[in-house]
């Protein structure tokens, strides 16, 4: 059955979802406003499918019989070996998750590399920004009380060496990587639940996706041990990765069908004691071309 779905209602739902409201909360609000329950679920689901799975945004009509969007992960780019090799380095696979597709890796960076990355980044840290989902403009994050900086691809010999290592480990070409981001979380700082892929509904993301394709994978390297807290968490599956110096978490959320995985929602839990330093590489479908190029 096809029903009318006013663009105003659709935009209200989209804004709330992009602000981080839980879909169930948005459904409850709609039901409180006298929208019939099943219809409310279908309305919210259709907007979520557009925001997260890259389905077309509903425009004026809603098909209540449309099948739910599905995400089927491709096989992990890491394969099934227990130790990955890059140069003289052995990188053991310490743990794997099926959904979202993820692996924890040991011995990715040595202590001196971690120390140098922190030292090179420290003088250049600025309060983290997020892209405002409504305006598309950068603003200082209210929820992500960390400070960060980006290296340009290949900016220093150390950065270039690490980028080459990531490419050899993951099979993803060096050129597909965005500039390496260093993030520092002081005690108390956290990063609230978010996706790393770009919301295609956001105007400012459209140009970026057109240039370089969607983000499909994230490689987070932990640069120090954290005394308490600071885990990278996947709330939909209840998995937490503890920051350990030199280890890395690789997760993939884009498949060959060009869908994105809603299970890849993740957080940086609040640092409870000590501080946390990470280096993150986000990887695109195609060669990364920054906005200014």
Question: Binding residues for Fe ion, per CB under 5 A?
Answer: 196
Minimum CB distance to ligand AKG, residue 35 (Å):
34
Q: Would you say 163 or 196 has its CB closer to Fe ion?
A: 196
Minimum CB distance to Fe ion, residue 218 (Å):
6
Residue 247 lies near ligand AKG (rule: CB under 6 A): no
Please, which of residues 160-189 interact with ligand AKG by CB under 6 A? 183
SS3 labels along the chain: CEEEECHHHHHHHHHHHHCCCCHHHHHHHHHHCCCCHHHHHHHHHHHHHHHHHCCCCCCEEEECCCCCCCCCCCCCCCCCCCEEEECCEEEEEEEEECCCEEEEECCCCCHHHHHHHHHHHHHHCEECEEECCCCCCEEECCCCCCEEEECCCCCCHHHHHHHHHHHHHHCCCHHHECCCEEEEECCCCCEEEECCCCCCCCHHHHHHHHHHCCEEEEEEEECCCCCEECCEEECCCCEEECCCCCCEEEEECECCCCCECHHHCEEECCEEECCEEEEEEEEECCCCCCCCC
Minimum CB distance to Fe ion, residue 195 (Å):
7
Q: Would you say 76 or 145 has its CB closer to ligand AKG?
A: 145
Residue 268 lies near ligand AKG (rule: CB under 6 A): yes
Residue 218 lies near ligand AKG (rule: CB under 6 A): yes
The binder of 232, among Fe ion, ligand AKG, none, by C-beta within 5 to 8 A per type, is ligand AKG
Among 47, 220, 270, 283, binds ligand AKG (CB under 6 A): 220
Residues that bind ligand AKG (CB under 6 A): 183, 191, 196, 218, 220, 232, 266, 268, 278, 280
């Amino acid at each position: 059955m096809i029903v009318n779905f006013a663009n105003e209602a659709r935009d209200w739902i989209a804004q709330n979802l992009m602000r981080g409201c839980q879909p169930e909360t948005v459904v409850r609000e709609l039901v409180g406003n006298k929208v019939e329950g099943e219809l409310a679920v279908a309305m919210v689901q259709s907007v979520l499918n557009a925001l997260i799975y890259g389905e077309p945004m509903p425009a004026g009509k809603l098909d209540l019989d449309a099948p739910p969007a599905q995400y089927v992960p491709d096989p992990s780019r890491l394969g099934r070996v227990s130790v990955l090799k890059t140069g003289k380095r052995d990188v053991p696979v310490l743990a794997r998750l099926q959904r979202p597709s993820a692996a924890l890796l040991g011995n990715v960076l040595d202590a001196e590399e971690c120390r140098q990355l922190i030292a090179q980044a420290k003088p250049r840290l600025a309060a983290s920004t997020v892209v405002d989902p409504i305006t598309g403009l950068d603003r200082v994050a209210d929820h992500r009380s960390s400070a960060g900086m980006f290296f340009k691809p290949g900016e220093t010999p150390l950065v270039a060496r690490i980028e080459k290592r990531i490419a050899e480990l993951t099979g993803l070409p060096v050129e597909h990587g965005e500039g390496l981001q260093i993030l520092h979380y002081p005690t108390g700082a956290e990063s609230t639940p978010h996706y790393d892929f770009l919301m295609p509904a956001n105007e400012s993301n459209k140009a970026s996706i057109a240039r370089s394709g969607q983000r499909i994978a994230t490689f987070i390297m932990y640069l120090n041990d954290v005394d308490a807290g600071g885990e990278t968490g996947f709330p939909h599956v209840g998995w937490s990765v503890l920051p350990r110096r030199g280890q890395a978490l690789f997760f993939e959320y884009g498949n060959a069908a060009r869908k994105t995985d809603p299970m890849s929602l993740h957080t940086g839990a609040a640092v409870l004691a000590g501080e946390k330093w990470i280096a993150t590489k986000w990887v695109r479908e195609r060669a990364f071309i920054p906005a200014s190029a």
